Amino acid sequence: MGTLKNATSTPIQIEFRDVTKTYGPVAVIKNMSLSIRSGEFLTLLGPSGSGKTTALMLLAGFVVPTSGDILVSGKSVADVPSHRRDQGMLFQSYALFPHLTVRRNLEFPLETRGINAAERARRVDRMLQRVHLQDFDNRMPSQLSGGQQQRVALARALVADPPILLLDEPLGALDRNLREHMQHEIKSLHREFGKTTICVTHDQEEALTLSDRIVVMRGGQIEQVDSPELLYDRPATRFVANFLGEANFIDKAGFEVEVDAAPPSGTLPMIRPERVAIMEIGAIPNSDDLRQVISGTVQDVIYAGPLRRYVVRVAESTFVVREHVVSGQPIFRPHDKVQLHWLRSDVRFVAA
């Protein structure tokens, strides 16, 4: 998000040190080590059951590590109960107090911090305006839509102005439009207040849009941590390449992949669909760079607004090609013979 200016000089605020959490014989978090900088927007991304909520609950103090330690501002929080950790939390199920009005829900974290009634009212009013719910303060949660409840939950996490914000699927229950609106809202709140934010999602687009860094989780372990750009452009593993965006694995495509240098052992060549271009048989790529050209047959073409997506059969495998629709471009149909081409330097090698 570009809010982390001078990232290397920003102090580390949160540290997971070799944290493991087991339930009976099953380790749901395995040897997790991670440093989070002050003001950073970090997203935990991964499939269902990969340990995202557990990692957040460990930090919030609702789950206790089996081994390892968590430090906040350099100090272990092992002996700090969750209500004494200065963090705002939005739970996955948004867990509003069902017997309290919207206003009373928002007052709760302020009361536990000993803030007086007049100041509470002032802060609640300001926060409700911020999430566009100023006219809903006397409603009960059951009288709100899912999206409205989610906005109340976000407001409640923010209202006490905690230095650390933990958000578990904050936009999960929202439809597409409201989701985009709230993404924007969360982003601008982060830009404005610069809170260290740890957000959980399984939505890759959301992770790419919001985060300074993304932690990809898999089976209780960190698979890769990087900026959105690097994760997408330089995925370390096949899992990451598949989880974030679409990937063409070209190892079994029935042709020799041309490379500039010998690939590291145990890796697979991969190319993103938007890096592959499609053209008529016999055409020559309009470029002097080293490009690989192969031929195939169009199997399918799908229009998606400004994008056109081809599936092209090449020997034993299929390629996905994604191109931006521009005027004057040839359009291919199923069964057309075509050529695909790409820059050699756009091929990535990921761990199998």
Which positions touch Mg ion (CB under 5 A)?
Answer: 53, 92
By CB under 6 A, is residue 88 in contact with ligand ATP? no
String of b and e for 145-174 (b: at least 16 CB within 10 Å)?
eebbbbbbbbbbbbbbebbbbbbbbbbbbb
Task: Report how far residue 186's alpha carbon sits from residue 142's, in angstroms, rounded to the nearest whole number.
Answer: 24
Residue 23 contact, options ligand ATP, Mg ion, none, Cβ 5-8 Å cut-off depending on partner type:
ligand ATP
| Stretch of 43-51, 76-84, 247-255, 334-342 contacting ligand ATP, by CB under 6 A | 43-51
Provide, rounded to whole angstroms, the least separation between the CB of residue 119 and ligand ATP. 35
In the bound state with ligand ATP, the residue whose beta carbon lies nearer, of 133 and 231, is 231
Provide, rounded to whole angstroms, the least separation between the CB of residue 71 and Mg ion. 23
Provide, rounded to whole angstroms, the least separation between the CB of residue 220 and ligand ATP. 7
In the bound state with ligand ATP, the residue whose beta carbon lies nearer, of 28 and 312, is 28
By CB under 6 A, is residue 50 in contact with ligand ATP? yes
Residue 170 contact, options Mg ion, ligand ATP, none, Cβ 5-8 Å cut-off depending on partner type:
none
| Stretch of 44-52, 99-107, 144-152, 243-251 contacting ligand ATP, by CB under 6 A | 44-52
By CB under 6 A, is residue 43 in contact with ligand ATP? no
Residue 97 contact, options ligand ATP, Mg ion, none, Cβ 5-8 Å cut-off depending on partner type:
none
By CB under 6 A, is residue 23 in contact with ligand ATP? yes
Q: Residue 131 class from Cβ within 10 Å (0-12 exposed, 13-18 middle, 19+ buried)?
A: buried
Provide, rounded to whole angstroms, the least separation between the CB of residue 44 and ligand ATP. 8
Q: In what order do the strands lie in the sheet with 277-280?
A: 277-280, 337-343, 291-304, 307-314, 317-324
Considering only residues 195 through 234, tell me which ones interact with ligand ATP, judged by CB under 6 A. Answer: 202
Structure tokens at 329: 């471009």
In the bound state with ligand ATP, the residue whose beta carbon lies nearer, of 131 and 165, is 165
Provide, rounded to whole angstroms, the least separation between the CB of residue 209 and Mg ion. 19
Task: Report how far residue 51's alpha carbon sits from residue 76's, in angstroms, rounded to the nearest whole number.
Answer: 21
Residue 202 contact, options Mg ion, ligand ATP, none, Cβ 5-8 Å cut-off depending on partner type:
ligand ATP
Site string for ligand ATP, 51-70 (x = CB under 6 A): xxxx----------------
3-state DSSP assignment of residue 339: strand
Structure tokens at 29: 């978090």
CB 291 within 8 A of CB 277: no
Provide, rounded to whole angstroms, the least separation between the CB of residue 63 and ligand ATP. 8
In the bound state with ligand ATP, the residue whose beta carbon lies nearer, of 27 and 259, is 27
One-letter amino acid of 245 = G
**Closest to 352 (Cα-Cα) out of 287, 271, 265, 280:** 265
**Closest to 330 (Cα-Cα) out of 317, 343, 342, 339:** 339
Task: Report how far residue 111's alpha carbon sits from residue 312's, in angstroms, rounded to the nearest whole number.
Answer: 61
Residue 29 backbone zone (phi > 0: left; psi -120 to 50: alpha; other: beta): beta
**Closest to 346 (Cα-Cα) out of 321, 309, 327:** 321
In the bound state with ligand ATP, the residue whose beta carbon lies nearer, of 200 and 340, is 200
Could you tell me how far CA 24 lies from the centroid of its own chain? 30
Provide, rounded to whole angstroms, the least separation between the CB of residue 237 and Mg ion. 22
**CB neighbours of 5 closer than 8 A, spacing ≥ 6?**
none
Binder of ligand ATP out of 14, 19, 28, 347 (CB under 6 A): 28
| Maximum distance among all Cα pairs of the chain, rounded to whole angstroms | 77
Provide, rounded to whole angstroms, the least separation between the CB of residue 52 and Mg ion. 5
Binding site for ligand ATP (CB under 6 A): 23, 28, 46, 48-54, 92, 202
